[in-house]
Structure 1
Amino acid sequence: MKKNAAQFLIFILIIIIIHVIPGYSQQAKPIGIGKGQLNGKITDEKSIPVMYAVVNLIKASDSTRVKSVITTENGAFTFNQLDEDAYFVTIEWIGYQKKFNGPFVIDANHRLLNIEQLVILPETNQLNTVSIVGKKPLIERKSDMMIMNIANSTLAAGNTALEIITKAPGVTVDNNGNISLRGKAGVNIMIDGKLTYLSNSQLTNLLRTTDGNSIQAIELMTNPSAKYDAAGTGGIINIRLKKNMNYGTNGTLTAGGGYGKYYKSNGSITLNHRSKNINVSGNYNYVNTKDFETLNITRSITSENENTYFDQRGREVTLRKNNSYKAGIDYYLNEKNVIGFLISGYANNGNTTNNVHTLIGSRQGSTDSTITGLNPGKSKYRNQTYNLNYKSVLDTSGQELNIDFDYSRFSSNQNIIYNNNFYDALGIVNKLPFILRNITLTKVKIWAGKIDYTYPIHPKLKLETGIKSSYVNTDNDFQSQNFENNNWINDRTKSNSFTYKEQVNAVYANLHKEFKSTTLQFGLRAEMTHSEGDSPTTGDLVKRNYTDLFPALSVHQNLSKDHEIGFSYSSRINRPDYQSLNPFLYFADLYTYSKGNPQLKPEYASSFELSYGYKKTTNVTFGYTHTRDVMTTTLLTDPVKKTLFIFEQNLASRSTVSMNINRPLAITSWWNTNNDATTYYSRFSSPDLSGVPFENKKWTYMISSIHTFTINSSVNAELSANYQSAQVFGTYVAKPIYSIDLGISKSFADKKANIKLSADDLFNTRQINVKSAIPLQDYKLSQKQESRIFRLSFSYNFGNSGIKAERQRSNSSSNEQNRIKSGN
């Protein structure tokens, strides 16, 4: 398998190189007999070159667009092979006025034209003498995504990425950390276009330590193109971090504090230096928080005509001290070629104390015995990732080559002690304490590489293609020990080891075509997967080899100036995360635990969407997704052991029908809102779950309303309200959730400094409540995290306020990293 995959990748690489070499020759190709050439350079009002702006060449006679190019790193552009004619040039760049220049005439006496420096100015609107320069709306819609621009949002102040994502329209997070987008589970998270291969619970931990002040925007994609990894049956959420923008040296200092039940604190520093040929950047973040979570479970079990009732009350207090860092350097070989190196990582430590009180009785409301547990735990998580990357802009028409190589290593050490004390109905000790300890050691190594190539066949037809290969090796050691005679004795019946190896090789091609009023995109991605899960202790060895094709299609049609429609389709996969495959037992208490499933299979989804847009403001989307072998977190009871355990397994299918309406509305000149409403119907079904057919279905409604208030030129406020009705997740039903967040910000010192005050979950209503959807299984679970938190955050920007952007890198191993426990 590995040999064939390597040969296949080498073949694809040769094909790409064959296409790349002609691209270099085009950089210096002659004007041509009877042909003309138009050169120019674009700067802003400070004479700083504008890179990556769109330059359109328009024929003066009929206003048709002839060609489009992207400016280089120094703001230059070139149009080659021009017929004799008169032309206009238009320039487009986000946040700046559209520039219109010309006419420029190519004739027998003017074959080569060099346009003097073209200057573009910021887009400025006057509102009652208040100048707003290039300000983006909080919620922005594009044909293939919804964008939440939170760079200056008060609701981002002091919050983590996870807390911000939960406020995004159409997004929900359940009690196990499963993220859903418009009712579809299996969402993959990207950071700066890089997928992060963590399990749902592990990803939740990682997002908790990503500082919201460092986020520029959040992009929600329900049907990504074939260019993206096929992983993620529910779509992709991409978190774009802030970038510096000018030459020179600058940085940002951030400090924040908060208080709910316990304290929260965070601090960070970001530095960037850019000269003509070198860009050096780095950041360091520190988070020190203490928070709590209550977990209450009431349930009953019938065994041999005998009922047993449990009333479990648990409270966990966690102290986290997290350190994360990133440093990178880019060296510009010339205006079209750059090579870079990046190192990033984290060192996270945690201490938990979990108090569990379990009442057991033969009748509801009665207590025959009691178990109390005081369960302390410690954890350490370490990560380092190295990235080597190369980017080449082969010509001014948009031909581009990107190469990335990655190596990542992760390690974790968890040590939890379970102290169980037993009492009778009168509260008198009736049994010796039972003390056990679980030690989990995990090591993960990831190697990955990818090549992406963009070839503009002509101005309205573009081909994107590329290859990727990744190899993951995980080694897990689980030790269960009992405390006997003042010594820890290994329990071989519960101890285990587990290794997992996975190789994925992928190739894709994506074609983008523009017609007069229609945009068409079609892509195909092929992924070959080989995996081996081995548990020597139990003798379980699971090998899998499979190859899949993932087509993607989107069509966008402008019906008129105010009306547009779109259709999209994609096929995607969700592979089991590493922890879900691990057969170890993880205890919450003596009667509640989770267990991995080495037999877990990947799930496959086909997703369709039909959209309608009116005046670039109102958007209505209808969707349908069918997922087979859907991976579902199930809560099951064991009538013999009288336990409740969380178990990942494949149900037969899940079908979701949805409708989404998004409508921004300006109430006044200083009060703007964005309103998003989603309704969806989900149906889970399986012909055999615990020996009987199973079906769980329900309509769900979600409403999000975000209000922004411009009080004056330096003071802004925001209010966010969210509601989601009862919904189904696999084998259980969740009750409604709702909350209100409020924030206000004040900028000063020539807008270099900013102070923000926010209140999350102002009325302390955010709580998860679920109950069983399986007949004859009776349980109710209530989970309440510390959600009402008041935060104060301060940031200060120093140095040159406009350094050119730190280059976006497309890390090749991030998809694999998304399936590793981060311990944040």
Structure 2
Amino acid sequence: MHFSLHSFFVLLLLLAPRVGLYAKSGPILSGTVRDPAGTTVEFATVALHRAADSVVVKTEFSDTKGAFHFDQLPAGSYFVSASQVGFERVQTAPFVISSTDQTLAPIQLKSSANTQLKEVTVQARKPMFERETDRIVVNVDGTPLSAGATSLEILSRSPGVTIDQNDNLALRGKQGVLVLIDGKRVPMTGAELGEMLRALPANSIEKIELITNPPAKYDAAGSAGIIAIKLKKDGRQGTNGSVNASYGYGKYGKFTSGISLNHRYKKLNIFGNYTYNNRNQFSQLMLHRDFYQNSQFIGSSDQDNVGKTHWISNTYRAGLDYTLSKRTTLGAVVNGLINHAEASIPNVTQTFDETGRLQSSYQSANQRMLETPNTAANLNLKHSFDSTGRRELTADLDFAHYGIHRLQNLATSFIVPVQSPTILDGKLNGGLDITSFKADYVHTFPNKTRLEGGIKASWVQSDNDVLFTNISEGISLVDTGKSNRFRYTENINAAYLNLNKTINKTSIQLGLRGEQTNATGLQVIGNSGFERHYFQVFPSVFVKQPVSKNQDLSLSLSRRIDRPTYNQLNPFRAYIDATTYFTGNPSLYPQLSYNIELTHTFKQKFMTSISYSRTDQPIINVIQPAPEGNRQAVSTFQNLTRSDYYGLTLTIPVQPTNWWTMDNNIVAFYNRFIGDLAGTSLNEGLPAYTLNTANTFTLGRGWTADLTGNYQSHQLYGFLDIRPLGQINIGLQKMMWGKKGTLKLNMTDAFYTSPLHATSTYANYVEQFYQRQDTRIATASLTYRFGSDTVSQSRRRSGGAEDEKRRAGGA
């Protein structure tokens, strides 16, 4: 479709009144909070609970007039609780939400002589896993297993999330996941994303949301869905904060410490945090390769890479919110990650002929250094056109710079046959600049029709310069076959409309998003490049229908796109050893997916979902014979022809006793890939499943314990055959010092069952590999919170350059 974005947006606006006749938001629940004297209470914490199991559905703060409201509520039975420092927590009687707005009688708090203790005592700890209508929520804050862990490790234990040997994330067995942190997409994927998430400690995370079929408001990227990481925020008045430190030990030691500060006074809120991470990571990669020619075995090789990587990262975030008026708030945020890594990974390689006789033997000393100074700034504005908040405008302006400096030195000594040693020296210097603007408008009409619309524009410039030098017998020569300079520019313009309505008991949401893409890439040496201009429309539909008092059915459909990340397109090489390297692929095309999911909910907690996705030109990570021959292999990304995904998800929460809660999640799926690569035709799939269980034990006297486990069955992903793996994790937590201190102890991967065994098979090449890392770790962590305990209303917003920042990195 080749017509302008302006024409598309005009078309959406013309359609809006007509679509609005058939779509609106769910009912609104409102009320006020008062003290014993009848005076309204501002900034009270108001929570909406499901009556069936008391699970918190939504949380809000009362405004300066003591008022609160919850919107877009599904039909069901609920109750509301309210709390504030100086008062006891109170709750309403259960009530039923149908299709009409509802106003509760004023909630009257009761005075408390010992507020802080009662406030904490009566609040139940959230379960580790919660299933909402369109997402699974992983409550990280408060679990002992977050102690000393990285956010990547927490993700690896989340329901339906798997991470391969190159740190590529998959959700329910599908790659192409969009990662958000506080609403902003992370500027990396693959190995760079893995490095960033290893630098982000889990104790800075409040929760993780796994969204499998996002609506039109989100960027159309992410065919497998969205992983939204939400960091902790402090809503207390005055000056307050926390400090934390942890130390863990597996093969090597790992230390993390941080501080968080927040000052809130009247119209101004200033916040900041800093985390220092110093980790030593063990890794081992063992490879066995068999080579064929015309279906005849011609030889093999064995490789062993064992080494240590030292990570030092400094993560910071600072900003402010200022209330310009009762309806307008302005915010600014600056955040960054300075990551430094040094790795020493020696390699031993032997090659054999078809009879098993030794042909060659050599050793390589692989030294790597990586620095990624990343900085981003955001300005944001929120304005309500009336006191009800039914008409609201938000806007964001983002600027970001991501640098990368990579050095690698591969020194190879030859034992059989004897020959002069060689050195391959590589230097990469690159940068990525992103500018983005977005604006979103929400309008709830008197007839309860809710309209959301927005526009977004982003501009990206990437420049990477790599120089490789061969050194042999003291002579240095530039390797022109490996050296190059890659420049990439991109502009994406987008607009969307999203409308909601409830007709009788049926909730309907219709969305339409259009994105126009203009991209160019150029390899300076050789003057090889590409230029692409295309426009795509992405519709989405969500329908929810109650079928009885305890049962609901919901259906969602969407079309999504995954553009190649900037580093996936970059032909820069990163050598693993003398015969194995990673490189990008400038010839990659976007992948397009069509998704449908049907979900049944029983008693608002037991959920069953069936889903289907078709993806055209899926982008997959492959390990294949290198074009240079000489028994070399290359890890890269390629487009296949098509993939089909069939999935079944079961969510089963159980409470065996009042001190033991258990959350279970089962994902069964079948993923079939079709395509041709390296002389091999692929048309295969295999039924597979993943299991997650999280058990929480309330032991009394401030002690709680967690026991979690996950298991991934045998599965196929493209040309990769992956053997089963899993892990068991144990955690213990103690609250102390008047609830201001938290001690956490844990052991992850207790039985060391998570090493990866897999096989890649092609017509002329078979690779078996075994990979293990430092996953069995014992950790102790201590956190201390200080300052005011008076809760206030918090506003912390995110920016608009989410998709571009996600794609700034590559594998």
Please report the TM-score for the alignment, with normalisation by the length of structure 2: 0.88
1:661 aligns to 2:650 (yes or no): yes
1:539: how far off? 2.0
Larger displacement relative to structure 2 (694-703 or 193-202): 193-202
- The one-letter code matched in structure 2 to 1:372 is Q
Residue aligning to 2:235:
245
Deviations 1:218-266 (A, max 9, x none): 1111111101111100000111111112211110101000000000000
Q: Which runs of 5+ in 2 are unaligned?
A: 15-29, 49-57, 70-77, 96-102, 113-118
Q: 1 CA distance for matches of 2:722 and 2:46?
A: 47
Go from structure 1 to structure 2 and tell me whether the alpha carbon gap of 1:438 and 1:118 turns closer, same or farther (over 3 Å shift).
same
- The one-letter code matched in structure 2 to 1:669 is N
Contact 1:52 1:73 in 2 (8 A): no
Match of 2:394 among 402, 419, 425: 402
Match of 2:378 among 382, 387, 396: 387
Q: 1 CA distance for matches of 2:276 and 2:578?
A: 35
1:144 aligns to 2:134 (yes or no): yes
1:417 aligns to 2:409 (yes or no): yes
1:807: how far off? 2.0
1:184: how far off? 1.6
1:738: how far off? 1.1
Deviations 1:535-587 (A, max 9, x none): 11122111111111111111111122211111111111101011110112221
Match of 1:606 among 565, 585, 594: 594
Contact 2:552 2:600 in 1 (8 A): yes
Q: 1 CA distance for matches of 2:759 and 2:65?
A: 59
Deviations 1:276-307 (A, max 9, x none): 11000000000000011101110121348671
1:702: how far off? 1.1
Match of 1:158 among 137, 148, 151: 148
1:384: how far off? 1.1
1:770: how far off? 1.1
1:343 aligns to 2:313 (yes or no): no
Pairs within 5 Å for 1:171-186 = 171-186=161-176
Contact 1:143 1:556 in 2 (8 A): no
Contact 1:198 1:816 in 2 (8 A): no
Contact 1:43 1:120 in 2 (8 A): no
Go from structure 1 to structure 2 and tell me whether the alpha carbon gap of 1:98 and 1:463 turns closer, same or farther (over 3 Å shift).
farther
1:355 aligns to 2:343 (yes or no): no
Q: 2 CA distance for matches of 1:168 and 1:430?
A: 50
Go from structure 1 to structure 2 and tell me whether the alpha carbon gap of 1:120 and 1:380 turns closer, same or farther (over 3 Å shift).
farther
1:772: how far off? 1.9
- The one-letter code matched in structure 2 to 1:419 is A
Contact 1:768 1:784 in 2 (8 A): yes
The structure number with the bigger radius of gyration is 1
Contact 2:191 2:810 in 1 (8 A): no
Q: 2 CA distance for matches of 1:285 and 1:336?
A: 34
Q: 2 CA distance for matches of 1:223 and 1:482?
A: 49
Residue aligning to 1:700:
688
Contact 1:673 1:708 in 2 (8 A): yes
Q: 1 CA distance for matches of 2:721 and 2:402?
A: 35
Contact 1:12 1:467 in 2 (8 A): no
Deviations 1:22-63 (A, max 9, x none): xxxxxxxxxxxxxxxxx98536899851379699xxxxxxxx
Contact 2:149 2:202 in 1 (8 A): yes
1:363: how far off? 4.2
Residue aligning to 2:665:
676
Contact 2:573 2:583 in 1 (8 A): yes
Residue aligning to 1:649:
638
1:271 aligns to 2:264 (yes or no): no
Q: 2 CA distance for matches of 1:120 and 1:372?
A: 74
Contact 2:566 2:810 in 1 (8 A): no
- The one-letter code matched in structure 1 to 2:368 is G
1:286 aligns to 2:276 (yes or no): yes
Q: Which runs of 5+ in 1 are unaligned?
A: 16-38, 56-67, 80-88, 103-112, 123-128
Q: 2 CA distance for matches of 1:101 and 1:141?
A: 21
Contact 1:618 1:662 in 2 (8 A): yes
Secondary structure class of the residue paired with 1:579: helix
Q: 2 CA distance for matches of 1:717 and 1:401?
A: 44
Residue aligning to 1:760:
748
Q: 2 CA distance for matches of 1:619 and 1:470?
A: 38
Q: 1 CA distance for matches of 2:111 and 2:767?
A: 63
Larger displacement relative to structure 2 (433-442 or 485-494): 485-494
1:197: how far off? 3.5
Match of 2:64 among 67, 74, 77: 74
1:433 aligns to 2:428 (yes or no): no
Larger displacement relative to structure 2 (696-705 or 358-367): 358-367
Residue aligning to 2:725:
737
1:745: how far off? 0.4
Contact 1:281 1:806 in 2 (8 A): no
1:560 aligns to 2:551 (yes or no): no
Q: 2 CA distance for matches of 1:609 and 1:710?
A: 36
Q: 1 CA distance for matches of 2:35 and 2:353?
A: 78
- The one-letter code matched in structure 2 to 1:782 is Y
- The one-letter code matched in structure 2 to 1:667 is P
Pairs within 5 Å for 1:149-548 = 149-303=139-293, 307-363=298-354, 366-395=357-386, 396-424=388-416, 430-458=418-446, 460-484=448-472, 486=474, 488-548=476-536
Aligned-pair Cα RMSD in Å: 3.3
Secondary structure class of the residue paired with 1:208: helix
1:345: how far off? 0.7
Q: 2 CA distance for matches of 1:206 and 1:140?
A: 26
1:130: how far off? 11
Q: 2 CA distance for matches of 1:306 and 1:617?
A: 55
- The one-letter code matched in structure 2 to 1:49 is E
Q: 1 CA distance for matches of 2:584 and 2:506?
A: 48
Go from structure 1 to structure 2 and tell me whether the alpha carbon gap of 1:290 and 1:130 turns closer, same or farther (over 3 Å shift).
closer
Identity of aligned residues (%): 32
Match of 2:562 among 552, 564, 574: 574
Contact 1:708 1:718 in 2 (8 A): yes
The count of residues paired between Structure 1 and Structure 2 equals 761
- The one-letter code matched in structure 1 to 2:254 is K
Match of 1:50 among 36, 43, 48: 43
1:366: how far off? 4.1
Go from structure 1 to structure 2 and tell me whether the alpha carbon gap of 1:713 and 1:811 turns closer, same or farther (over 3 Å shift).
farther
Q: 1 CA distance for matches of 2:507 and 2:624?
A: 48
Secondary structure class of the residue paired with 1:815: helix
Deviations 1:388-433 (A, max 9, x none): 1101122214221111000001111111000011112xxxx61000
Go from structure 1 to structure 2 and tell me whether the alpha carbon gap of 1:117 and 1:683 turns closer, same or farther (over 3 Å shift).
closer
Q: 2 CA distance for matches of 1:353 and 1:747?
A: 41
- The one-letter code matched in structure 2 to 1:225 is P
Secondary structure class of the residue paired with 1:205: helix
Contact 1:517 1:559 in 2 (8 A): no
Deviations 1:621-667 (A, max 9, x none): 10101100000111112483211111211101110101111111011
1:743: how far off? 0.4
1:70: how far off? 8.5
- The one-letter code matched in structure 2 to 1:349 is H
Go from structure 1 to structure 2 and tell me whether the alpha carbon gap of 1:191 and 1:552 turns closer, same or farther (over 3 Å shift).
same
1:520: how far off? 1.3
Match of 1:625 among 592, 610, 613: 613
Contact 1:601 1:650 in 2 (8 A): yes
Q: 2 CA distance for matches of 1:605 and 1:131?
A: 48
Go from structure 1 to structure 2 and tell me whether the alpha carbon gap of 1:376 and 1:71 turns closer, same or farther (over 3 Å shift).
closer
Pairs within 5 Å for 1:806-817 = 806-817=794-805
- The one-letter code matched in structure 2 to 1:290 is N
